[in-house]
Amino acid sequence: MKSGVALEAATAQAAKAPVTPDFAGFLAAIGRALPSACILARAEQTRAYECDGLTMYREQPPVVVLPEDETQLIAVLNACRAHHVPVVPRGAGTSLSGGATPHPQGVVIGVAKFNRILKLDPERAIAVVQPGVRNLAISEAAAPHGLYYAPDPSSQIACSIGGNVAENAGGVHCLKYGLTVHNVLGLRVVTGAGEVVELGGEAPDAPGLNLLQLCVGSEGMLGMVTEVTVKLLPRPELARVVMASFASVERAGEAVTRIIAAGVIPAGLELMDQRAVKLVEPFVQAGYDLDAAAILLCESDGTTEEVCEEIGRVEALMATAGATRVQVSASEAERLRFWAGRKAAFAAAGRISPDYYCMDGTIPRRHLARVLGAFEEMEATYGLACSNVFHAGDGNLHPLILFDANQPGEVERAQAFGAAILELCVEVGGTITGEHGVGIEKINEMCVQFTRAELDAFAAVKRAFDPQGLLNPLKVIPTLARCAEYGKQHVHRGELPFPDIPRF
């Protein structure tokens, strides 16, 4: 057995001299194991997989594999391991941090054909689904039983549950009902070594270490999920949304503070600034107040009595905080229309800007006014506009930086703007991501948030699951060389994006 020093030396040596992938041998191996229709190797076939929702970074993969079942997936992973071929797992491709960006000498393994709901048990309020099942499809299948799946990211109509697990996705109702990690009971995972492990399960708890929550949010670095067991919740008897207008973002932030301090935990609590409102309203016609500096959406759900009592408290708290207009949804259709505007905020940006860059940082709520004020200063610094939508209840910000990639220098300014936002989040005691993940987008800022010892601990966990380092390599956890370049845990500007990603 190697000593700790020897092991680190061997790891460092391996990093300096990576094994060249045997792609010809890999293709021959998977050609024997999978039907030809599951292997995409022509340029026109693989072009669609060159990026995820973060379109700034693209890399056309040499090959894409779409296994149909777990046996085929294991065969592909075994071939990758035997021939030293990196693996990039991919769900629906809606992620926004570049986690599904292909490796230039690797294979993209898509789970689109893992698309079945294997079991739905209304008595136990659980569902067992494959990773390619759409988020919204779970609730649609559970609806006849009066049940639904709570996490609801804005992309829920398209995003897959496997991708939600990889990124620990949230949504507008995560304040009350939690993120993916709070709603997943069990996973079936194929590790980088080709072993099948079952984590968690249908019972409330499981013996041993809690590896289930370790894998949720691991961004495809520890294994590939083949089954997900989720908990289902009874659909509330009633839901209503209070929509309030404010003369300043600070006043809206004060309303958020008052609501949470009063012990009210809304089903959803979302804030949009005026620029975001003006982006969305012509697109969705949700009925938003275009004159407001900010609007706040606060949803209450439960029994009719509970909702009426909570709505009354929220209205009073908003009035105390200085709301200039308060409107309560009068019907289910109106409630859905209020939320449709918030969920369409990203898409609506495309109506006025050729490109946008959606960030994802989290801050303590008490710093909301300071951070949004700093964003205005950054707009002047970088010469780019920024609209803001965010999960106000838990401080998860989603600034939308508007730019035009066709204009020289705007991509670089947008990237620098985004990095400044994330570093500010860390400075005020927050984090660089709330639900979008790190991917390749935030890997520099990992050096800002975490110490070298912490990053080494993350890397040690990955080595335990993936000894060869083939699963989604060079993402999420920065290399020692990368952080060393930044000196005092800070990022140098003006260098090429992601210089330690091989470009062969």
Looking at the fold, whether 293 and 190 belong to one and the same domain comes out as no
In the chain, how many domains are there? Answer: 4
Looking at the fold, whether 94 and 192 belong to one and the same domain comes out as no
Q: Which of 342, 365, 387 is the last residue of a domain?
A: 342
Judge whether 12 lies within some domain.
no
Looking at the fold, whether 257 and 270 belong to one and the same domain comes out as yes
Looking at the fold, whether 362 and 455 belong to one and the same domain comes out as yes
Give the separation between CA 63 and CA 109, rounded to whole angstroms: 9
Write down the pLDDT at residue 371. 93
Write down the pLDDT at residue 205. 80
Q: What are phi and psi of 148, to 5 degrees?
A: -160, 165
pLDDT surpassing 60 at residue 341: yes
Read off the tokens for 143. 């609806």
pLDDT band, very low/low/confident/very high, at 203 (cuts 50, 70, 90)? confident
Q: Average the pLDDT over 489-504 and give the result.
A: 39
Looking at the fold, whether 297 and 382 belong to one and the same domain comes out as no
Give CA separation, 1 vs 5, 188, 466, in Å: 12, 31, 18
Write down the pLDDT at residue 1. 35
Q: Look at the block and give the residue holding tokens 């091989």.
A: 502
Give the separation between CA 304 and CA 139, rounded to whole angstroms: 22
Looking at the fold, whether 144 and 259 belong to one and the same domain comes out as no
- Condensed to tens digits (0 to 9), the pLDDT of residues 274-311 reads 999 999 999 899 999 999 999 999 999 999 999 999 99
CATH number of the domain that 439 lies in? 3.30.70.2740
417 residue type, one letter: F
Looking at the fold, whether 373 and 447 belong to one and the same domain comes out as yes
Q: 95: which DSSP letter?
A: -
Q: Average the pLDDT over 155-182 and give the result.
A: 96
CATH number of the domain that 90 lies in? 3.30.43.10
Q: Percent of the chain scored above 70 by pLDDT? A: 93
| DSSP-derived pairing of the beta strands 184-191 and 223-231 | antiparallel
* Residues 6+ positions from 415 with CB-CB distance below 8 Å: 56, 357, 497
What's 269-303 look like in SS3?
EEEEEHHHHHHHHHHHCCCCCCCCCEEEEEEEEEC
Tell me the torsion sign for CA atoms 368, 169, 108, 113: negative
Helix (H) or strand (E) holding 186: strand 184-191
Average pLDDT, the chain: 91
Give the separation between CA 158 and CA 273, rounded to whole angstroms: 26
Write down the pLDDT at residue 33. 96
* Residues 6+ positions from 266 with CB-CB distance below 8 Å: 175, 176, 259, 298, 299, 300, 310, 314, 393
Judge whether 6 lies within some domain.
no
Contact (CB, 8 A) for 434 and 170: yes
CATH number of the domain that 192 lies in? 3.30.465.10
Helix (H) or strand (E) holding 390: strand 385-391
CATH number of the domain that 323 lies in? 3.30.70.3450
Q: What are phi and psi of 340, to 5 degrees?
A: -60, -40
Helix (H) or strand (E) holding 234: strand 233-234
Q: Which of 318, 342, 366 is the last residue of a domain?
A: 342
Strands of 37-130, DSSP E: 39-40, 63-65, 87-90, 107-110, 117-121, 126-129
Q: Average the pLDDT over 238-260 and give the result.
A: 95
Looking at the fold, whether 38 and 159 belong to one and the same domain comes out as no
Judge whether 377 lies within some domain.
yes
Residues of the domain holding 259: 239-342
pLDDT band, very low/low/confident/very high, at 501 (cuts 50, 70, 90)? very low
Give the separation between CA 334 and CA 241, rounded to whole angstroms: 9
pTM: predicted TM-score of the whole model, two decimal places: 0.90
Judge whether 3 lies within some domain.
no
Looking at the fold, whether 150 and 245 belong to one and the same domain comes out as no
